[in-house]
Structure 1
Amino acid sequence: METDITEKIKPIIRYSLPIILIIAALLVFGIFKWNEAKAVLNISDAKLTSSLVHVSAQSDGTLTEILVNDGDKIEAGQVIAKVKVITTPEQIEALQKACDEAQANYDNIEQQIKSSTTTTQTVVSSAPSSGNIAAAQARVDAAAAQAEKMSKLYSIGAVSATQYTEAQSEYSAAQAALSAASAPQQVTREVQTPTAPSKELSEALASAQVQLEQAQAALNQAQSDDNYADITAPVSGIIYLTDFKQGDNLKQNDVFINIGNTKNLWVEAPLTEEQYNKVHPGQFVHYTVDDLDLTGTVLEVTHADDSDNNLITAAKISFPDDMIDKVTPGADVTVQITLDK
């Protein structure tokens, strides 16, 4: 026998529908309140930004070649330009002086060897002058520091080969001068009997010859018409060319190329004055760049005037290090900043 349950479920249907509607209304109200508490600020004209590294002329010269194009992605150490260095008369004079000193040092040691190989000696030694040693050591220390500095600058293309060789020659000459100052003074009675030169003098002569050759090479390079320097990128990044073109003359410290450092990226989002008052460091950010969905936090909020005295405000947003190689500085970014109510 079938039982009709229609009458039994009518009360359930009658009362459950309002309950469902009430629950739905509560959910909508809760979502509204949550969104109200966590409002989102949308910014569509943000940019992926990097720090700029300036490549400048270390001395006067001519920009003979630019080997990169605007927007090129380059690696640290890559040759990006060639400059013909203009050597000043003062630099030529300094190199000539270094060459003369190296020649005099070589001649002095050579004369000592000739004397020692044609005589036996009754030697009376006296201690070297402490003042001479101190002065020679000070020269070595200063030359070593300058040589190390020039070596680092040369490795990144910041100085010319002439300046690098000059620093190395001065360091070698200073070392030879210290060796000479540290040697005991000798008073000899010569007897015409040939002898072999000492090991110390032989080594000193070999060192003096290297110093002389380096000084002569540096002088010859500076005096030649083929004094070119390769300019290498100090960091990996994106090339931003300036108004300088191939064939232009450069003055010392002229910036002729900028490099956007791809190892130091962040998102920069412009803000209106009203938005500036709502954004602060630490806020959560969701953004999209080059089809990548990423998250970060507000690092700082800047507030400054530009060159036309217009008020500029912006939020600096963190960028994940593991995504650096997948994006390009200057890319457009769409930003959503979660605001605390």
Structure 2
Amino acid sequence: MEKDITKKIKPFIIYSVPIILLIAVVAIFGVYKWNQGQGIININDAKLTSSKVMVIAQNDGTLTELLVNDGDKVEAGQVIAKMKVVVTPEQIEALQKAYDEAKVNYDTLEQQVKASMVVSQPVVTSSSTGNVAAAQARLDAAAANKQKMDKLYSIGAVSATQYAEAQSEYAAAQSALAAASTPQVVEQQASVSSAPSKELSEALATAQIQLNQAKAALDQAQSDDNFADITAPVSGIIYLTDFKQGNELKRGDVFINVGNTKNLWVEAPLTEEQYAKVHQGQFVHYSVDDMDLTGTVLEVTHQDSEDEENKNLVTAAKISFPDELKDKVLPGADVTVQITIDR
């Protein structure tokens, strides 16, 4: 037999429905007030900005060529300018002294290497025309190989071990020719080559490099054609200064800036009223080069302007830019920004 429960739930329905309706009204009102509390700051003159790396003159001289224009994109290591370097007599004197010291050091080590490579021991030898000719041929080949290895080693194309082996063979060939040229059969002291120690070989190799560098620096300083290539320190965008081609440069002058394209952010100028509403961490929607992007406010800094007409402007809010898109844009691009604020 079914029971009629209508009478039991009727009071519940009567009292619960108004409560549910009240909760709904409160929720709707809360959402409405929250939406009313939200606002948007629109900024149409923001810019895509990058950190700048200064290109500084390392010596006094003349800016003879500017190989880039303002706004050009360059790669790290690319030659962007040339300058004729002014070298003083004092600088040349110092370079000459450095070369002389490097030469003495190299000659000393070379003699030590040669001495360590030759060991005297008694042998019985006899000379003949055939032996002398063979020894001479060996010496000629060793001399040619030594000359070739000297050049290769000076530019780092062969190892110190290969270089030392060529020196050793040359010394041995000299000894062999001397022995073959003896006119009679006698027991005598002959020179037998041996490899120099690793430490001595490395010391000679280092001395060779230092000598080559000192010679190159001295030759460059003494040359009338004393020009230097100026290269971009980072990949980025060129920002020229007031220096022009043909201007004189002093050591320490900043004559070019390079905007580092690996370090980008959006910079949005704010009025005093906007500045009071913007803070770190706020959500930002912005458009650049037909791309719609989002980010956050990284920093807001205030700076009084010396320009009377713009005295109410403050430094832009610094807004994040995604790393994965840095190769698709250029610093200086126009950006439109919408910053979500709390009223």
Confirm or deny a common fold (TM above 0.5).
yes
> Is this contact kept in 1: 2:119–2:193, CA < 8 A?
no
> Is this contact kept in 2: 1:81–1:230, CA < 8 A?
yes
In the alignment, structure 1 residue 73 sits paired with structure 2 residue 89: no
- Which is further off, 205-214 or 280-289? 205-214
Give the aligned residue type for 1:222.
Answer: A
Matching residue of 1:229: 228
Q: Distance in 2 between matches of 1:319 and 1:66?
A: 32
Structure 1 pair 34–117 and aligned structure 2 pair: CA distance change class (3 A): closer
Matching residue of 2:82: 82
Q: Distance in 2 between matches of 1:320 and 1:91?
A: 48
Structure 1 pair 87–196 and aligned structure 2 pair: CA distance change class (3 A): farther
Matching residue of 1:314: 316
Unaligned runs of 5+ in 1: 1-25, 122-164, 166-191
- Structure 1 residue 205 displacement after superposition: 6.2
Q: Distance in 2 between matches of 1:107 and 1:289?
A: 64
- Structure 1 residue 31 displacement after superposition: 7.9
- Structure 1 residue 220 displacement after superposition: 1.5
Give the aligned residue type for 2:274.
Answer: Q
Structure 1 pair 302–223 and aligned structure 2 pair: CA distance change class (3 A): same
Q: Distance in 2 between matches of 1:316 and 1:91?
A: 46
Q: Distance in 2 between matches of 1:316 and 1:264?
A: 12
Matching residue of 2:303: 304
Q: Distance in 2 between matches of 1:115 and 1:292?
A: 73
> Is this contact kept in 1: 2:49–2:267, CA < 8 A?
yes
> Is this contact kept in 2: 1:238–1:260, CA < 8 A?
yes
Write out per-residue CA displacement over residues 59-94 of structure 1, whole angstroms, 9 at most, x where no aligned residue: 111111111111111111211111222222222111
What does 1:47-196 correspond to in 2, within 5 Å?
A: 47-109=47-109, 195=191
What RMSD, in angstroms, separates the aligned Cα atoms of the two structures? Answer: 3.5
- Structure 1 residue 307 displacement after superposition: 4.9
Matching residue of 2:45: 45
- Structure 1 residue 225 displacement after superposition: 1.2
Q: Distance in 2 between matches of 1:90 and 1:108?
A: 27
Matching residue of 1:246: 245
Give 3-state SS (helix, strand or coil) of 2:97's partner.
helix
Q: Distance in 2 between matches of 1:210 and 1:328?
A: 42
Give the aligned residue type for 1:252.
Answer: R
Which of the pair has more CA radius of gyration? 2
Matching residue of 2:328: 326
> Is this contact kept in 2: 1:40–1:337, CA < 8 A?
yes
Q: Distance in 1 between matches of 2:335 and 2:217?
A: 51
Q: Distance in 2 between matches of 1:213 and 1:300?
A: 51
In the alignment, structure 1 residue 295 sits paired with structure 2 residue 294: yes
Structure 1 pair 29–214 and aligned structure 2 pair: CA distance change class (3 A): closer
Structure 1 pair 225–296 and aligned structure 2 pair: CA distance change class (3 A): same
> Is this contact kept in 2: 1:239–1:260, CA < 8 A?
yes
Give the aligned residue type for 1:38.
Answer: Q
Q: Distance in 2 between matches of 1:44 and 1:111?
A: 75
> Is this contact kept in 1: 2:266–2:319, CA < 8 A?
yes
- Which is further off, 61-70 or 192-201? 192-201
- Structure 1 residue 193 displacement after superposition: 6.1
Matching residue of 1:218: 217
Unaligned runs of 5+ in 2: 1-25, 122-153, 155-187
Q: Distance in 1 between matches of 2:37 and 2:216?
A: 74
Give 3-state SS (helix, strand or coil) of 2:244's partner.
coil
> Is this contact kept in 1: 2:237–2:258, CA < 8 A?
yes
Matching residue of 2:12: none
Q: Give the total of aligned pairs.
A: 249
Give 3-state SS (helix, strand or coil) of 1:303's partner.
coil
What does 1:264-279 correspond to in 2, within 5 Å?
A: 264-279=263-278
- Which is further off, 105-114 or 84-93? 105-114
